[in-house]
Amino acid sequence: MKSQVFTVDAASWRPNCDPQAIQALEDGKVLYFPRLGFALSPQEQALLRPGLQAEGARNISLDAQGRLKGVAGDAAVQAAAGALISRFSASATSLVNSLFPDYAVYLRAAPASLRPIEVSTRRQSWRADDRRLHVDAFPSRPNRGERILRVFANINPRGEPRSWRIGEPFADMAKRFLPQVRPYSPLKARLLDKLGITKSLRSEYDHLMLQLHDAMKSDDRYQREAPQQAMDFPAGTAWVCFSDQTSHAAMSGQHMLEQTFHLPVDRQYNREASPLGLLTALAGHSLI
Ligand code: SIN
Ligand code: FE
């Protein structure tokens, strides 16, 4: 497999626009910034302990309205955790606005998160297990092709990497699994919407993305034998990808910051390269 990682040499959260990086991103590659660290103050470093996360929470998040979730601790701890995530959110926003200037006004920030839990030993159902190669797709939030752009920074204080596996290009994965996915049922989609199980009507696109997510994760042989590369993101580095397109699995690592953005599919430089563009071409009919 050709490398699915594109290295960007920038050392600033406000780098110059780089057309090659844009093309690599839209081709589904991970943009890797080996010189782009998100430095923490000693007070911020002191927050990095597993006990920071409230029991039962999947991660710690701060939404665009400033609502903080998932922190255990008193008001001072809450404020410090919120301030750290907010500071990262500002850096991540500056990074994507500088790198992808044509996206800038169309990006919508989803919650940012702090992930203080070691991922290698987390026990989860196969469907929730992000140690299995997958593309991101969310059962309750149909997005009709809207993109999921994510910025990650490894802030591990002991110098431990975040270890990912990165899988084959989206079109190869889709061609492999589409023949076996369950067909879309408009009736079922309406029912899920009526019952409030989905936040809006699940389109055929959303159905296919979920089916692909599940088909990948549930296939042990695919997990072992699919084209893939191991990628360790060292502490003090950052990376960016369209996680609805890039096949990824997080194998180990602790303490990461992450910011998600949504982008209307029509605001990409090349719409045809998106999962919606690729799946529509493979299906031969409109999916939204
Ligand atoms: C994921 O989005 O699958 C998880 C990424 C990570 O925890 O590194
Ligand atoms: Fe994921």
Mean pLDDT confidence for 4-22: 96
Mean of pLDDT over the chain: 96
pLDDT of res. 50: 77
- At 181-232, the pLDDT tens digits run 999 999 999 999 999 999 999 999 999 999 999 999 999 999 999 999 999 9
- Cβ of residue 162 lying under 6 Å from some atom of ligand 1: yes
Domain count, the chain: 1
| Mutation probe of ligand 1 site: the residue of 32, 117, 130, 232 with most atoms within 8 A of C-beta | 130
Radius of gyration of the CA atoms of the chain, in A: 19
* Ligand 1 neighbour 118 (Cβ under 6 A): no
Report yes or no on 286 lying in a domain. no
For residue 118, how many C-alpha atoms fall within 13 Å in the half-sphere facing its CB?
A: 6
Q: Say which ligand is closest to the CA of 122.
A: 1
Residue 127 has, within 13 A of its CA and on its CB side, a CA count of: 7
Ligand 2 centroid from CA 130, angstroms:
6
Q: Residue 76: CB partners within 8 Å, gap ≥ 6?
A: none
Question: Is 281 a domain residue?
Answer: no
CA distances from 201 to 57, 188, 192, 243 (A): 27, 10, 8, 22
Ligand 1, atom 3, lies closest to the CA of: 130
Secondary structure element (H or E) that encloses residue 171, with its range: helix 170-177
For position 19, which CATH number holds? 2.60.120
CA distance 284 to 286: 7
Please say whether the dihedral angle defined by the alpha carbons of residues 260, 262, 268 and 273, taken in this order, is positive or negative.
Answer: positive
Joined together, the tokens standing for residue 17 give 């626009």
Q: Does residue 75 lie within any of the structural domains?
A: yes
Closest CA to 267 of 167, 146, 165: 146
Q: Do the beta carbons of residue 132 and residue 223 sit within 8 Å? A: yes
Q: Look at ligand 1, atom 1, and give the residue with the nearest C-alpha.
A: 130
Measured N-to-C along each axis, helices 275-283 and 170-177 cross at an angle, to the nearest 10 degrees, of 40
Is 261 part of a structural domain of the chain? yes
Domain membership flag for residue 285: no
The CB of 137 under 6 Å from ligand 1? The reply is no
Q: Which domain holds residue 91?
A: 5-276
Give the model's pLDDT for residue 275: 98
Q: What is the pLDDT of residues 24-62, one digit of tens each?
A: 999 999 999 999 999 999 999 999 987 999 999 989 999
* Ligand 1 near 202 CB (within 6 A): no
Is 282 a domain residue?
A: no
Q: How many CA atoms lie within 13 A of 37 on its CB side?
A: 12
Give the integer Cα–Cα distance in Å for 130 and 248.
8
Distance, CA of 231 to CA of 220 (rounded, Å): 20
147-193 tens-digit pLDDT: 999 999 999 999 999 999 999 999 999 999 999 999 999 999 999 99
Q: Residue for token digits 């991660």?
A: 59
Q: What is the mean pLDDT of residues 98-124?
A: 95
Specify if 288 maps to a domain.
no
Q: Is any ligand 1 atom within 6 A of the Cβ of residue 166? A: no
For the entire predicted model, the pTM comes to 0.97
Find all residues with CB under 8 Å of 176, minimum gap 6, and list them.
Answer: 222
Q: Is the pLDDT assigned to residue 105 strictly greater than 80?
A: yes
Q: How far, in Å, is the centroid of ligand 1 from the Cα of 130?
A: 6
Give me the pLDDT at residue 49, please: 83
Domain contains 142 = yes
Q: Which atom of ligand 1 is nearest to the CA of 253?
A: 8
Is 247 close to ligand 1, i.e. is its CB under 6 Å away? no
Residue 79: CB atoms within 10 Å: 13
